[in-house]
Amino acid sequence: MSAKPLVAEFIGTFWLVFGGCGSAVLAAAFPDVGIGLLGVSLAFGLTVVTMAYAIGHISGCHLNPAVTVGLATAGRFRGSQVIPYIVAQVAGAIVAAFTLYAIASGRPEFSLAGGFASNGYAEHSPGGYSLGAGLIAEIVLTMMFLFIILGSTDDRAPRGFAPLAIGLSLTLIHLVGIPVTNLSVNPARSTGPAVVVGGWALAQLWLFWVAPLIGAVLGAVIYNWLGHVMPAERVEPGLRPAPVGPVERS
């Protein structure tokens, strides 16, 4: 395969981690004008929307190992390309995290003790949520994310709106999940900050690989079942159901 899709995934995942985690580290609690939970959630969504339009036609704009695995499970992506995509995504996330650290550490008060936007559970959950709660949240939210990705990119869906649907869904997912685990649904996004923080962040990183991958496979399986329709059941985008019955032929 060409190296260009891999470079695109590296750049796209770099942008997701730098923009999303950067908004959390640099801007979320900035005095008087901090963007807070809503702003961080929107920032993650915007990184996906902007990159979907920028590199969607080059690599598909996965930016996420769970998305890559989910698309492969759904038959939308070649299995032989899964590992190279994941390597590029994780590399982009790690470079983004260290770039963000280089900027954030320029402030005298900065400390990694604040978590550096790492994902965690129990005492490292923003809301003190348990391992079990974090596991369920990450599986369910990743499942819904993949379900929306597959549905909005279906050939029968309205064309041109998939990036908006996907980006807005990621925003909504963050609004729900940040208090629980700081929200991952993306193993690469979790790996970048965890490598910088080390210690507890690396020790808890397993959850943010296992749960999103399980959720992605579930989302793919459910959508494939739901989205597979017989010709008589097919619904055109935005239109009423097609009539069922004999078709006159000329």
The token duo for 10 is 């590296």
Is residue 67 one of the residues assigned to a domain? yes
CATH assignment at residue 55: 1.20.1080.10
Instruction: Determine phi and psi for 235, rounding to 5 degrees.
Output: -120, 125
Letter string b/e over residues 172-195, b meaning 16 or more CB atoms within 10 A of that residue's CB:
bbbbebbebbbbbbbbbbbbbbbb
Residue 1 has what pLDDT?
75
- How many domains in the chain? 1
Is residue 243 one of the residues assigned to a domain? no
How do residues 70-98 score in pLDDT, each as one tens digit?
Answer: 999 999 999 999 999 999 999 999 999 99
How do residues 45-67 score in pLDDT, each as one tens digit?
Answer: 999 999 999 999 999 999 999 99
Is residue 141 one of the residues assigned to a domain? yes
Q: Which residue type is seen at 52?
A: A
Closest Cα partner for 40 from 117, 147, 124, 128? 117
Is residue 90 one of the residues assigned to a domain? yes
Is residue 247 one of the residues assigned to a domain? no
**pTM for the model:** 0.90
Dihedral of CA 45/58/148/134: which sign? negative
Is residue 246 one of the residues assigned to a domain? no
Is residue 202 one of the residues assigned to a domain? yes
Q: For 130, which DSSP code?
A: -
* Residue span of the structural domain in which 210 resides: 4-107+116-227
Is residue 64 one of the residues assigned to a domain? yes
